[in-house]
């Protein structure tokens, strides 16, 4: 009798397994996506963000969700990454939103704008301050979903073939500068040029451009800018905390199982933290090497900084007057920034200033 009962229970268990196993398999399908990056493979930090994303997604899904990463130019040029996702040439891109201000200037704000948020503020706004929802409502117009997937930290002001002593030296200066910052500096006489990372060095070398900003010492050293433009300026006031995004085709995103969506979000968070940490570790040593090799480190002139702030506020007002999406986003960012700096000046800035003044003691 016990044997018959055991066989009945065992049979029922086997039947349940036969039903459950296919259900589990169906909920965790094998999926292969292609990711197009806006960055060259030589930049292991920022290009590496896409690789980190792919690696962590695979690990979280037992290898069933695979994302193959392609460098800029392997599928589409770096500045066409968003279009490739929007039209479903690829499922996902790793890129910077401000590359696409030509489509709509609102694209600048989820990444970085002149005199905007610093790194931690940008990450806080996107993750917990309502920024992600605000921008995904906007991104729908372009058939994509955006997830924060990297941050370089505050950037340098860039490399110049000639010294900048006053704001007047910007007149007619041809500069590679991305996003809405180009519109700001244009008011000061700069002729902005938008070039992908791999195209900057030859343009500087040939004199097609007079100056260029990219990221910071670690990446800039790899790209060799010091060889053709010796003056290295700071700060990159247009990129106090520039976010990188993973853009995903909406239909592909909505077709994913929920736990695959969760894996993408988790992997993006890992990629963000990893990228920022790598830059913070690598930039100090790279800056020392660049200066030792002859780079001329300079702060931007005070009159240029003040003129740039005035120009930035003028640009924001002009765009807001004719673009409701931009106005909504810039107003939200400005309010968030105001509250954040009320807090930062109480503790963070006081601590940082003391540490800078007393470093090494």
Mean of all residue pLDDT scores within the chain: 93
pLDDT score, position 360? 59
CB of 212 within 8 A of CB of 200? yes
Nearest to 64, CA basis, from 265, 274, 259:
259
> Residue 12 pLDDT more than 70?
no
pLDDT score, position 26? 60
> Residue 18 pLDDT more than 60?
no
Q: What angle do CA 248, 255, 329 make, to 5 degrees?
A: 40
pLDDT band at 9 (very low <50, low <70, confident <90, very high): very low
First to last CA, the chain: 84
> Residue 93 pLDDT more than 50?
yes
> Residue 131 pLDDT more than 60?
yes
Kindly give the pairing relationship between strand 158-160 and strand 231-234.
antiparallel
Q: What are 45's two structure tokens?
A: 């930090």
Radius of gyration of the chain (CA): 24
pLDDT digits (tens, 9 = 90+) for 49-58: 999 999 999 9
The whole-model pTM stands at: 0.89
pLDDT score, position 269? 98
CB of 223 within 8 A of CB of 214? yes
Give the mean model confidence (pLDDT) for residues 306-331. 98
CA-CA-CA-CA dihedral for 317, 319, 320, 324, to nearest 10: 180
pLDDT score, position 25? 52
pLDDT band at 196 (very low <50, low <70, confident <90, very high): confident
Give the mean model confidence (pLDDT) for residues 317-338. 98
pLDDT band at 19 (very low <50, low <70, confident <90, very high): very low
pLDDT score, position 16? 41
pLDDT score, position 27? 82
DSSP string, 59-77: HHTTTSEEEEEE-TTTSS-
pLDDT band at 14 (very low <50, low <70, confident <90, very high): very low
pLDDT score, position 10? 44
pLDDT score, position 197? 79
pLDDT band at 206 (very low <50, low <70, confident <90, very high): very high
> Residue 89 pLDDT more than 70?
yes
CB of 228 within 8 A of CB of 149? no
Task: List the single range of 17-21, 208-212, 338-342 with lowest mean pLDDT.
Answer: 17-21
> Residue 4 pLDDT more than 80?
no
> Residue 255 pLDDT more than 80?
yes
pLDDT band at 3 (very low <50, low <70, confident <90, very high): very low
Q: How far is CA 75 from the centre of its chain?
A: 20
Q: What are 152's two structure tokens?
A: 């370089």
> Residue 109 pLDDT more than 80?
yes
């Amino acid at each position: 009798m016990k044997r018959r009962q055991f066989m009945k229970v065992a049979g029922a268990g086997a039947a349940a397994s036969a039903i459950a196993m296919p259900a589990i398999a169906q909920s965790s399908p094998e999926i292969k996506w292609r990711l197009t990056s806006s960055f060259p493979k030589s930049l292991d930090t920022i290009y590496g963000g896409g690789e980190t994303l792919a690696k962590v997604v695979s690990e979280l899904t037992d290898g069933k969700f695979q994302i193959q990463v392609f460098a800029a130019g392997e599928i589409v040029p770096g500045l066409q990454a968003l279009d490739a996702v929007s039209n479903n040439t690829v499922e996902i891109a790793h890129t910077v939103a401000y590359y696409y201000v030509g489509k709509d200037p609102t694209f600048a704000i989820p990444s970085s704008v002149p005199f905007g948020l610093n790194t931690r503020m940008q990450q806080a706004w996107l993750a917990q301050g309502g920024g992600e929802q605000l921008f995904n409502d906007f991104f729908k117009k372009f058939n994509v979903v955006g997830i924060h997937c990297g941050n370089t930290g505050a950037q340098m002001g860039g490399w110049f073939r000639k010294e900048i002593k006053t704001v007047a030296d910007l007149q007619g200066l041809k500069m590679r500068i991305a996003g809405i910052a180009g519109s700001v500096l244009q008011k000061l006489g700069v002729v902005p040029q938008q070039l992908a990372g791999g195209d900057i060095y030859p343009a500087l070398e040939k004199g097609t451009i007079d100056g260029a900003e990219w990221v910071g010492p670690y990446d800039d050293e790899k790209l060799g800018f010091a060889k053709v433009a010796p003056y290295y300026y700071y700060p990159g006031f247009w990129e106090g905390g520039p976010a990188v995004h993973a853009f995903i085709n909406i239909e592909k995103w909505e077709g994913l199982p929920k736990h695959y969506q969760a894996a993408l979000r988790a992997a993006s968070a890992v990629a963000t933290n990893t990228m920022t940490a790598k830059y913070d570790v690598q930039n100090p040593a790279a800056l020392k090497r660049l200066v030792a090799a002859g780079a001329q480190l300079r702060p931007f002139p005070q009159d240029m900084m003040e003129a740039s702030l005035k120009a930035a506020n003028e640009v924001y007002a002009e765009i807001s007057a004719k673009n409701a999406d931009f106005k909504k986003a810039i107003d939200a960012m400005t309010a968030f920034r105001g509250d954040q700096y009320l807090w930062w000046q109480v503790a963070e800035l006081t601590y940082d200033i003391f540490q800078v003044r007393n470093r090494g003691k």
